[in-house]
Structure 1
Amino acid sequence: MLPSDRDEIRDLLKRTAVALKQGDVPFALCGGYAAWMRGAPEPDHDADFLVPEAESERAAKVLADAGLEVVPPAEDWLTKVVQGNSFVDVLWRTCGHPVEQDLIDRAEVLPVLSVQMPVLQATDILVTKLMALDEHYCDFSRLLPVARALREQVDWGRVRVEVDDNDFAVVFLVLLDRLGVVEGAVSAG
């Protein structure tokens, strides 16, 4: 990503968060930029926010009313906010599951590029990233730096329990354990 593109995505991230805040839509920064705020490398692509599924239509209206370009994508679980060559995804489902209010409520308000906004906890960031792994997307090279950077902030026991049904996620936890990134990332039983 070129520096001007990074500036553009950062600007769009801030404008999206401010619009959601002003519209009183519950939300949280998630994905790569949430991980970045907690010490991971800065992502080189879009930014992502979560909103509860029950707020999805209102979120899209609030963003459009704030003058942002809202584009309905082919997917039926997110809204895209576009500016130039950059975009922000506002998701109301992750890995086929509706975003629930409790996930948003667990987020911690942090300053992100000078804007106070809720940011997912490190454990929730890892769980959502690991649950996205499947036979079509299984890129451990993107996850490894995130797991390394966030390892001391993560409740690995909770991660284990929440991703137990995803074989790709479980294998990633085995990899973390074998590399010594996180001792006990997987249980012996």
Structure 2
Amino acid sequence: MPFALAGSYGIWARGGPEPDHDVDFMVAEEDALRARDLLAERDLVVVQPPEDWLFKVFVDDAMVDVIHRVGGEPLDRSRFDEAEVMEVESVQMPVLHATVLMADKLGAMEEHACNLTPVIPAARAIREQVDWAEVQRRTEGNPFAEACLVLLRRLDVAAPHRPNASHPAGAAQG
């Protein structure tokens, strides 16, 4: 089933700062139950928290979030079409595109979670890989994301839209 490394570790795999918390993987919502069952069959500890958009897997002392819904919207398999297989800690795995990672990071910002401390260094580290116009499009309507994008532009981190952006969705919109 399609999946991809996401979140802060996805950004780290693309050159961002090393995170100090859980690892995030994404699967399509239609595959979530099967993924959960397969992981449990392999004697991993699988826990369903109160949130209905993910489940957690514990491997030794590590916690892995397996996310199947973002911003209230179910993920479908097409989300992983642009994931790039990369070597992460000597393991080949699909990693979400930098544009998607930044859009998810900014899109998750809300009044109870709007800490810019991890966002600015992450954005700075992978800024050349990101189609910032696409991030703006994907986060439109989220005032926290919009404010962060203004700050990132003022800091010369988020560049204006480039017609030759490396993200296929952004390039197609020119």
- Return the TM-score normalized by structure 1: 0.82
Alignment equivalent of 1:38, drawn from 5, 9, 14: 14
Contact preservation (8 Å) 2:84, 2:95: yes
C-alpha distance in structure 1 between counterparts of 2:59 and 2:32, whole Å: 20
Q: What does residue 123 of structure 1 align with?
A: 99
Q: Does 1:81 align with 2:57?
A: yes
Gaps (5+ residues) in structure 2?
162-174
Matches within 5 A, 1:30-179: 30-179=6-155
SS in 2 for 1:67: coil
Q: Which amino acid aligns with 1:117?
A: M
Judging by fraction of residues, say which structure has more helix: 1
Gaps (5+ residues) in structure 1?
1-24
C-alpha distance in structure 2 between counterparts of 1:95 and 1:126, whole Å: 14
- Return the TM-score normalized by structure 2: 0.89
Q: Which amino acid aligns with 1:163?
A: T
Deviations 1:154-177 (A, max 9, x none): 011111111111111010010011
C-alpha distance in structure 2 between counterparts of 1:178 and 1:136, whole Å: 24
Contact preservation (8 Å) 2:132, 2:159: no
SS in 1 for 2:106: helix
Deviations 1:76-129 (A, max 9, x none): 111110134321000101121111211111111111111111100000000111
C-alpha distance in structure 1 between counterparts of 2:87 and 2:60, whole Å: 25
More deviation in 75-84 or 129-138? Answer: 75-84
Q: Which amino acid aligns with 1:85?
A: D
Q: How many residues align?
A: 161
